[in-house]
Structure 1
């Protein structure tokens, strides 16, 4: 039975139609049937991004590896999921026995992501008859709905809902935004127009790295009259569309959205295109961001290349901390709010599915908080005597 073979790992599969998804294979490189069915359904049936199926496959492979080590089948091992949590936290890998380190090898957030993928997998297996319903019982508790917002609760008596039983408490962390000084520091040490355009595009348009590396030249409408391009949107802008991309880039949202560009973005783009046009291999590539200075020339840049670029620029600029792409996106989100954008404008520009998705992106300056408090008007007269 392949489900109890040591050495499970994630593996990419490219379908004849050109779609790539990630599955789980055992030590003999045979796909695990139940996991494969779940992952291909997630990719094709739910239209999840390739990167999402990769994260799911990696998490399920960890679970199957642990099941093999304790000698239980994956449907039955859910009764010991608490031990799986401990294994995720402390197993250093590479050995048959548990290697306990002085600190966890996986943080609470990473462990919770693995558990979420495992629960999704088990739920799918039960719903499709690949596992008995009893496999679900150890995963959830029934709790009253009093802690839910009023609009999500029923009227009258409390109703019951299922809640994941195994979940670590994550430390509250707010991803910091890159400061204007840090962004300018990166721009000063850029050695070419392409790198400057990348920094400016993330800083002034809030693009995710997967969105930016997936932009095609046809998506860029940096012209005064876009109607000539068959587009009814006025002003310089570009379109973010979800596609299948050979470089692994993917827009997070399925919904297409246009993003306005200011004069700084357009200026950086013009200088980048002048540099790009000199590279002959790049002229035949429809991707906007391509390799101009390393092989393979003209090939689309990978999303991870943006992380590598910002890490190198941070070191070159001698910044106190490394800047990564999402910090530039956070800087854009904070700037939009500080400029007075409404919630619906902020949500649309950031490409969020809900208003609550934007909470981690809000980084109000302490001076603005003080100004907001001091801006609350005092009454002209305080009736009666107040003992201050």
Structure 2
């Protein structure tokens, strides 16, 4: 942690606290590419896991071999995870196959990064992928004007896993989740995520100057009409970072302004919060007044999910907002801009069919057949 601005940087060390130079240099390159501190943290853990496995099994991490990497992949799902929390479950937990694939992907990227420095032979990284011609294009994928993007690199070592479904909340569930919040800050956060489609990192990275909730913001030097919120990519002390590099603004309704006003009143009761420029800060636990971090938000949603008795995670509210916009006839390009997506194909996972939608489609077809007969 930097003593100057409290920015967090990650390194990989051995059991004897010796810094692993190559892995730490790779993590430094992520910072140079302006990646999220959370991404750096996750990648650091994956590399440490790989290096520990190599050390325990007498493998050269820079030249593990195809068979060794395959065994590492299977070890990832067979090895029980360490107990979590004070009341650990008697049933051991294991990694999902999709998680093992992600870990090996990070290892592959790390090995490729090491090639120009002479730390890894090109053949070692080359065995992790192979060239494949796409005879059939995935939905939303463009092969280019000259079909130049039909040839891609695919992984050679991976589990075959089913495509996971995307979860979202119905209007009733979203309303229930908002109603279950006890504090004004938490209520504002939940409602903001569910109505603007922000990522949790974007919300936690909001500054007070981004909140333009007046009918006219020209006095603030902003010419955007109506109440809205600005989403900007910037480095923050709490590690929150907007994924999209292009800034955008999102219109808000009157309830956002009302809930924000309630939160500001609650915030003013904590003197330590007065100096923070961040919107979401710690008001109920130490360190008071410091920017709210992702673990705090995750803990909030875990408590709300337990009360509501259904799954509730921050990213589900992003799916919820996108689905509501699509159902209400919002054009795809408008929804794409609101969500901060660069590619139209990124919108595909956010379109969900409800039970009612599917029932209506079947009944409509049955009615047409009846009319024709």
TM-score by length of 2: 0.87
Q: Which has the higher contact order (CA 8 A, sep 6+)?
A: 2
CA contact (8 A) 2:193 2:314 kept: yes
For residue 104 of structure 1, report the CA deviation from its aligned partner: 7.3
Deviation, 1:356, is 2.1
- Three-state SS of the structure 1 residue aligned to 2:154 is strand
Change (3 A) 1:283 1:359: same
Alignment-derived partner of residue 236 in structure 1 = 227
In the TM superposition, residue 70 of structure 1 has moved relative to its aligned partner by 2.0
Q: Which residue of structure 2 aligns with residue 338 of structure 1?
A: 327
Distance in structure 2 (CA, Å) of the matches to 1:59 and 1:158: 30
RMSD value, Cα = 2.9
Distance in 1, Cα, partners of 2:147 & 2:268? 67
Structure 2 unaligned blocks of 5 or more: 83-89
* Residue matched to 2:264: 273
> 1:160 Cα shift?
5.5
Compute the displacement of 1:138 (Å).
2.1
1:117 equivalenced with 2:106 (yes/no): yes
Paired residue for 2:118? 129
Give the aligned length: 361
2:272 matches 1:311:
no
Does 2:47 align with 1:56?
Answer: no
Q: Given that residues 145 and 153 in structure 1 are in contact (C-alpha distance below 8 angstroms), is that contact kept between their aligned partners in structure 2? A: no
When residues 269 and 139 of structure 1 are mapped into structure 2, their CA distance, relative to the original with a 3 A threshold, is: same
Task: Map Cα deviations across residues 275-303 of structure 1 (whole Å, 9 max, x no partner).
Answer: 22232221111111112222222222112
8 Å contact 2:81–2:94 — kept in the other structure?
Answer: no
Q: Equivalent residue for 2:211?
A: 220
**1:169 corresponds to which of 141, 160, 164:** 160
Q: Distance in 2 between matches of 1:15 and 1:296?
A: 17
In the alignment, which residue of structure 1 is the partner of 2:85? none
Report the CA distance shift for 1:14/1:131 in structure 2 as closer, same or farther (over 3 A). farther
State the distance in 1 between where 2:76 and 2:183 align.
43
* Alignment pair present for 1:295 and 2:286: yes
After TM superposition, the structure 1 = structure 2 runs for residues 50-89 of structure 1, keeping only pairs within 5 Å, are 50-79=37-66, 80-89=68-77
Q: Deviations over 1:222-265 (max 9, x none)?
A: 11111211112111111111222112212122221111111121
Separation in 2 of the partners of 1:130 and 1:267?
57
1:185 and 1:249 map into 2 onto residues whose CA distance is 27
Q: Which residue of 1 aligns with 2:197?
A: 206
Aligned to 1:9: none
Is the 1:338–1:364 contact (alpha carbons within 8 Å) kept by the matching residues of 2?
no
Distance 1:157 1:192, change over 3 A: closer
Matched residue, 1:183: 174
- Cα distance in structure 2, aligned partners of 1:339 and 1:322: 24
Pick which of 107-116 and 167-176 moved more.
167-176
User: Cα distance, 1:220 vs. partner?
Assistant: 0.5
Measured after TM superposition, the shift of residue 366 of structure 1 is 3.4
Query: Which 5+ residue runs of structure 1 have no aligned equivalent?
Result: 1-12, 95-100, 383-387
Cα displacement string for residues 200-227 of structure 1 (whole angstroms, at most 9, x for unaligned residues)? 1011111221111111101111111112
Q: Out of 249, 252, 263, which is 2:243 matched to?
A: 252
1:3 — aligned with what?
Answer: none
What is the TM-score with the length of structure 1 in the denominator?
0.84
